[in-house]
Amino acid sequence: MAYDDLRGFLDALDEAGQLLRVTEEVRPEPDIAAAANAAPRLGDAAPALYFDNVRGFTDARIAMNVHGSWANHALALGLPKETPAKEQVAEFIRRWDRFPLAPEWREDPPWAQNTLEGDDVDIFRVLPLIRLNDGDGGFYIDKAAVVSKDPDDPENSGKQNVGVYRIEVKGKRKLALQPVPMHDIALHLRTAEERGEDLPVAITLGNDPVVTIAASTPMKYEENEYELAGALRGAPAPIAKAPLTGLPVPWGSEVVIEGVIEGRKREIEGPFGEFTGHYSGGRSMPVIRIDRISYRTDPVFEHLYLGMPWTECDYLIAANTAVPLYKQLKADFPEVQAVNASYTHGLVVIVSTKKRYGGFAKAVGLRVLTTPHGLGYATTVIVVDEDVDPFNLPQVMWALSTKMNPSGDLIRIPNLPVVELAPQANTPGVVDKLVIDATTPVGADRRGNYGNQVRDLPEAAEWLTRLQALAARR
Ligand SMILES: [Mn+2]
């Protein structure tokens, strides 16, 4: 079952008993964020929340926690809502084999119904903005898919990008966006700034649930997110041309915000309560000028609460972080059995693998650190034997308890890159990383004695003299 827009998915959630409508009047702050904070505490079958009676707003419609349980994640993928997390990851891996599946251009997108342009742009008229955590520096948009192109190669669809980034609302037509250096949009912006240009962007909000999953997947730079969305849906992802920038945007979005990241301009953004369960402070970030907003009549504002795990964010980026890591590791090391990167956006990664020879598990662990995800996130890697299930934490703890010998099984590598948001780093953005080998030790593959040095044959000196004499006579 493929959903072409958020509304279709909300209806499906409703039918499956996975949408809770809060019909009594609520305060925009702190009720909506607090409810979304609490929702995942209902367990792995927690529902999405829908608010349409918000004090101070006449027509606000706010959807929270849409991906915020394994049940909802399963329904997003068209699976039965009881599907266990591990089986959802396995199915995700199978569907990835259909990648790439090209998107389908469609006419008459629903978001073309209403438009604000130029000086008429006023984001406050379109979105019922609310703060999420009480230490946040302002209103945030944190579940939008941001579309951009590589300025050096704009027609290369592989180099186009659709990604979820945190965005602070700075004014009626001004936003600030955090491009984490390891993410594709940071490359686009750097290229634009080197060319002395602004970077056109389309910020699409209220998307079908699979677009959001694909946009928050750590794919390789040249892999196209819509082509992954198609593979996951089992049908081409419907897209349409954004009217001002021409960027390919989801056909079914509720809101499409177009504008530019203004080259070489930075302003203070933050603080913001992050996926790490910690605030990140105010930092200098690029600024977006909004030039056009297109939106469906009575748009649904889809928002995401994040804070101390588990929140919706953790359900949204568990499977889609583990699967590309698994695929990338498997390509180099077919012995890899499973990857679990579900914890705090995969700052910890657990890998199970067979071993070819002594030291092999450590090599697999080190490889994790240089994948697209590993560069920015994986900080501790735990490697376990093939008979330990990375999704079974008691088994992982057993391996740590009995197989890991600190004398040789802890590899610490100083000063590797990490997202600046990682709170454990002494210097933001740089951290020591750790590979823990919790596999059964395998000895070196010794065939014969390699301890004896090969020395010159006794006749070699005489032969050298003979060869020199022969060479001189030529
Ligand atoms: Mn990308």
Task: List, for residues 124-156, the tens digit of each pLDDT value.
Answer: 999 999 999 999 999 999 999 999 999 999 999
- CA–CA gap between residue 51 and residue 300 (Å, rounded): 10
Per-residue pLDDT band for 192 (boundaries 50, 70, 90) equals very high
Helix (H) or strand (E) holding 91: helix 85-96
* pLDDT score at 1: 73
Per-residue pLDDT band for 388 (boundaries 50, 70, 90) equals very high
From the CA of 160, how far away is ligand 1's center (Å)?
Answer: 7
pLDDT digits (tens, 9 = 90+) for 258-276: 999 999 999 999 999 999 9
Single out the residue of 49, 40, 41, 43 nearest to residue 18, CA to CA: 49
- pLDDT for residue 446 is more than 80: no
From the CA of 218, how far away is ligand 1's center (Å)?
Answer: 7
Per-residue pLDDT band for 443 (boundaries 50, 70, 90) equals confident
Per-residue pLDDT band for 444 (boundaries 50, 70, 90) equals confident
* Catalytic residue IDs: 274
C-alpha distances out from residue 393 to 92, 350, 381, Å: 21, 10, 14
Domain positions in the chain are 6-314, 318-438
- CA–CA gap between residue 4 and residue 312 (Å, rounded): 21
From the CA of 223, how far away is ligand 1's center (Å)?
Answer: 6
From the CA of 102, how far away is ligand 1's center (Å)?
Answer: 15
Burial of 368 (0-12, 13-18, 19+ CB in 10 A): buried
pLDDT digits (tens, 9 = 90+) for 421-442: 999 999 999 999 999 999 999 9
Report the percent of the chain where pLDDT is more than 70. Answer: 100
From the CA of 330, how far away is ligand 1's center (Å)?
Answer: 20
From the CA of 200, how far away is ligand 1's center (Å)?
Answer: 16
Q: What is the mean pLDDT of the chain?
A: 96
Instruction: Specify the CATH architecture of the domain 318-438.
Output: 3-Layer(aba) Sandwich (3.40)
- pLDDT for residue 453 is more than 90: no
CATH number of 6-314: 2.30.110.10
Handedness of CA 396, 397, 401, 405 (dihedral sign): positive
